[in-house]
């Protein structure tokens, strides 16, 4: 496999943090209730008019600065989001234009929370074929658009009043999902290299039979028109989630895939320096960590501060750990994730 390395990273989260207590202004919840079930204390939300490409732009500019390169050295963009600026076109082209990278190929991928793993396979192919030398990989999400409340001034603390019983009831109907997600972007600059770095081994899987364990029921092109007048009243723009089934999938599939990957790569679990996992739920990650026998210090987590930022979680985590000086050249890291689709996988990466 062709060698490639991380030469720059950056992250961006919008606005001020919104705590679990802040959410209690518009729904029946509490800090204790949310934290016990997810490990989340706070998250950030994109402002009105602020899309995934705007968050991605900030993160990308920071990654470019960190890499110490001119943006024009980037010859390929891979953008991952499940909350694009438009139904179409994808946000990759929009980001490329904002960065001034006119004519540079820009690809959108839709593996949701598992996008980082699939993206590594794509990048390996691009480097191996010589199609690219410097790739900007971005995960960015603006989940605020599907939150089940209208009283944003209460959530952000800009106003103080009682929410209407009807509005609280609507929000409560989606409480289990709404408390999990936050907004943000992470960007990584990858470059081809002759040193021993890059993808060691990777396993990815998809099982579409379970697509409706996490999906948005409204706005699809099975109907004419694709958005009907009553869909908003039915809250069809808000995802439906079978949290119990997703939990079961994650704690079953991820440890199994990680063990299989190590066996195929002839690498012992204890030889892996870092386990960089998607940040969906602290309980899931702790279970996976315990199943693999990985010490806590090898699996950093930040879900308490950001919530689930979907495709952005691993890039944000990598930027944090890297800027703390913990990621060193030559180390072996495993990235692992499961996302809506259902897509899941693990990747061994030599830094």
Active site residues: 113, 278, 308
| DSSP structure string for 245-257 | HHHHHHHHHHHHH
Q: 7 phi and psi, to 5 degrees?
A: -110, -10
CA atoms within 13 A on the CB side of 42: 12
Q: 262-292: b or e for each residue (b if 16 or more CB lie within 10 Å)?
A: beebebebeebbbbbbbbbbbebbebbbeeb
What is the SS3 assignment for 351? coil
Torsional sign, CA 320, 201, 4, 186: negative
The region, left, alpha or beta by phi > 0 then psi within -120 to 50, assigned to residue 73 is alpha
Cβ atoms of residues 110 and 52 within 8 Å = no
- Cα–Cα distances in Å, from 162 out to 18, 85, 122, 152, 305? 18, 32, 49, 13, 27
Helices 31-38/282-292 angle, 10° precision: 30
Pairing of strands 18-19, 42-43: antiparallel
The region, left, alpha or beta by phi > 0 then psi within -120 to 50, assigned to residue 191 is beta
Q: Which long-range contacts (CB under 8 A, 24 or more apart) does 219-223 make?
A: 219/87
3-state helix, strand, coil split of the chain in percent (to 5) is 40, 20, 40
Q: Please give the Cα distance from 55 to 44 (Å, whole number).
A: 12
């Amino acid at each position: 496999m062709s060698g490639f390395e991380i030469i720059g990273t950056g992250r961006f989260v919008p606005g001020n943090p919104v705590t679990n207590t802040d959410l209690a202004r518009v729904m029946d919840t509490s800090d204790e209730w949310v934290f016990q079930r997810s490990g989340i204390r706070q998250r950030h939300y994109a402002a009105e008019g602020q899309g995934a490409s705007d968050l991605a732009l900030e993160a990308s500019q920071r990654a470019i600065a960190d890499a110490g390169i001119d943006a024009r050295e980037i010859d390929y963009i891979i953008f991952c989001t499940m909350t694009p600026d438009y139904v179409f076109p994808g946000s990759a082209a929009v980001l490329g234009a904002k960065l001034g990278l006119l004519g540079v190929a820009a690809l959108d991928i839709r593996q949701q929370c598992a996008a980082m793993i699939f993206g590594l396979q794509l990048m390996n192919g691009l480097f191996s074929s010589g199609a690219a030398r410097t790739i900007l990989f971005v995960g960015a999400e603006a989940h605020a658009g599907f939150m089940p409340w209208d009283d944003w001034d209460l959530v952000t603390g800009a106003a103080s009043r009682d929410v209407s019983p009807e509005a609280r009831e609507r929000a409560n109907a989606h409480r289990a999902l709404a408390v999990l997600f936050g907004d943000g972007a992470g960007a990584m600059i990858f470059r081809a290299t002759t040193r021993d770095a890059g993808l060691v081994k990777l396993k990815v899987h998809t099982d579409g039979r379970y697509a409706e364990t996490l999906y948005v029921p409204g706005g699809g092109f099975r109907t004419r028109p694709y958005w009907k007048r009553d869909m908003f009243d039915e809250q069809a723009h808000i995802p439906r989630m079978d949290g119990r089934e997703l939990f079961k999938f994650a704690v079953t599939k991820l440890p199994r895939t990680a063990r299989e990957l190590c066996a195929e790569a002839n690498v012992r679990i204890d030889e892996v320096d870092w386990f960089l996992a998607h940040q969906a739920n602290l309980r899931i990650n702790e279970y996976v960590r315990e199943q693999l026998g990985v010490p806590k210090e090898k699996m950093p987590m930040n879900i308490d501060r950001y919530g689930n930022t979907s495709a952005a979680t691993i890039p944000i985590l990598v930027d944090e750990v890297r800027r703390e000086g913990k990621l060193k050249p030559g180390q072996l890291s495993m990235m692992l994730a499961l996302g809506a689709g259902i897509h899941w996988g693990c990747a061994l990466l030599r830094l």
